Amino acid sequence: MAVEHEEKDREAEFGGDDIAAARDRVEDTSHDEGKVLYEDGFTAKTIIGSLFVGLIMAPGAIYLGLVAGRGLGGAAQWVTIVLFAEIARRSFLPLKRQEIYVLFYVAGGLAALGGNSLAGGPVGGLIWAQYFVQSPQAAAIVTDIPAWWSPGPLSSAVQGRSFFDPGWTAPILVLLITALLERLSWIPAGYILFRATSDVERLPFPLAPVAASGATALAEASTKEDSWRWRIFSTGTTIGLVFGFFYISIPVFTGVVFGTALTLLPIPYLDLMNSTESIMPAAPTGLNMDLGAALVGFVLPFSLVIGTFASSIVCQWGANPILFNMGYLPRWKPSMDTIYTKMAIDFDFWMSANIGIQIAIAIIGLYIVVKGSIEAARGIKDRNRGSWTDVPRGRGDGPNTVKIAVVLWLVATVCYVLLTQRLLPTFPMTLILAYAFLWTPLNSFVSARMYGLTSQDVDFPFLKQVTILKSGYTGIDVWFAPMPLHDYGGLAQRFREVELTGTKFTSILKAEVLMLPILLIGGFMYWQFIWNTSPVPSPQYPYAQKMWPVQAQNQAIWTP
């Protein structure tokens, strides 16, 4: 095994196929046996674990998102897994790797109840809506905000802070329909993208082995006395516990006891603008204090890390002072903090520059895809490319599964288009169709390839805003309607994780059926309790109190 690794590393270093070598290393380190045996991971154990996350971990995820701007994501996943793995081991019923990963998958989905206003699960969007209609930023347009998005700021539904008020009937109905349609569209779309980028193009997906290795480590801990994966997992857990105590635990504890959170480490980052603005005007200088962001750099390809660092230094610290002195950043003023500095320089210059960069990335991705398709049509074979008809035995899918997925995605997308048209009867139908059947597949495929190569997404900034403004539509309601404009690229990596753990794809479908009602019921129950206890945001929630006004400003700036 060691000799094989050395051969592959040498091949990649001295002119071999880097992508193929990287993928081989991922597969070799994800499972020692070299061949995957697929098993069903959706069992009674995972059902019990899912209920545990929905009832116990979800409230903490919501509260943590309001306090620190992040959910319990990793904590909910790994705490649940470690707890159930230990209980199962002591009961002489150790969890299989597949069961551990399905539990990890479900815990991650349910932990999405936390996070910021737009990532706090489906119901978190309603909490954001009630804040926005009451915010000063929305004062000029509040009378035109549609009732199917949020009741008015003076209504009993908002003032009484209760989802049981009839004023919330239309927003909740729209939320339920969109949540169901999005589930029905992203599952088949993610599978199709996975087949294209992983099975056919055989891209490496650098971050996919992280979750797979974690599940393998916990499975090995129950069956092996000495596992190198378990040692690494335990070391990382200890480091995270120490960091989390200072970064998260102290602000949460002091916020509950004293009403105002004490932050030893600035959340979300240390603002250094006052110290650097005289030397580097208009250059945002904030130090991210989140250890997780630094640890991700140890997993990503070294060339990607170096390139990101160099571009940040050159563009933000080098170019911004020059652009300011040349008069291209007129909105920036001294004494602005990092947040408003970033908003000002993006609006003046970097927004348009980023659009050009994303167009270039899209063109390059399309060129590679078209080139590969033409070569395949001409019979030019590539030993590093797979086939749509070659499906690993026992994985839970087959050669015709792609066709079924395409039909399901089309049906769900058509229903989504009809919902949007029903809410916006005078909005141009051609633009809605272009969102759904042109841009979403195109952008999702480019994004999936970026995940496959670098595990980083690609974003075309302000596409929705620019196209709506150019359409000539002047209604306010369009800025609040659900649009069939999605990026499914990251889901290709999720399916790759499922494959690396040897979990049947049918396990994920069963898990999704279980997750949706827990996500909705738990969301309404816990968000209602928090909202009824105190306004959101308030001094009890430092992240929301600081960042939600900025998000409200960003949303209000696009409404005519």
Per DSSP, 138 falls in state G
Cα 225 to Cα 239: distance, rounded to the nearest angstrom = 23
Residue tagged 């738990």 (tokens): 522
**Of the candidates 47, 54, 112, 108, the residue with the CA atom closest to the CA atom of residue 77:** 108
pLDDT at 454: 75
Cα 339 to Cα 325: distance, rounded to the nearest angstrom = 21
pLDDT at 117: 42
For 451-460, b/e burial (b = at least 16 CB within 10 A) is: bbbbbbebeb
* Cα angle for residues 531, 534, 540 (degrees, 5° grid): 110
The pTM is what?
Answer: 0.75
Cα 117 to Cα 120: distance, rounded to the nearest angstrom = 6
Cα 117 to Cα 328: distance, rounded to the nearest angstrom = 32
Q: What is the pLDDT along the chain (560 residues), one digit of tens a residue?
A: 333 444 344 333 333 345 555 555 555 545 544 456 788 888 888 888 778 777 777 777 777 778 766 655 555 567 767 777 777 777 777 778 888 888 888 877 766 554 444 445 788 889 989 999 998 888 888 888 999 999 999 999 999 999 999 999 999 999 999 989 988 998 999 999 998 888 887 888 877 887 677 777 776 666 665 666 677 777 877 887 788 787 777 877 787 677 777 777 777 677 787 788 888 888 888 777 777 777 777 777 677 778 878 888 888 888 888 988 888 888 888 888 887 888 788 878 887 787 777 677 667 766 766 676 676 666 665 556 667 777 888 888 888 898 999 999 999 999 999 999 999 999 999 999 999 999 999 888 888 888 887 777 777 767 888 888 888 888 889 999 999 999 898 889 889 988 888 889 999 889 888 888 888 888 888 888 888 888 888 877 877 888 888 888 878 877 76
* Token couple for 91: 């009961």
Question: How many C-beta atoms lie closer than 10 Å to residue 81's C-beta?
Answer: 22
Cα 22 to Cα 74: distance, rounded to the nearest angstrom = 26
Cα 258 to Cα 532: distance, rounded to the nearest angstrom = 19
pLDDT at 337: 81
Query: What residues contact residue 134 under an 8 Å CB cut-off, 6+ apart?
Result: 153, 158
**Of the candidates 141, 135, 134, 138, the residue with the CA atom closest to the CA atom of residue 160:** 134
The burial class, CB within 10 Å (0-12 / 13-18 / 19+), for 254 is middle
Cα 29 to Cα 216: distance, rounded to the nearest angstrom = 10
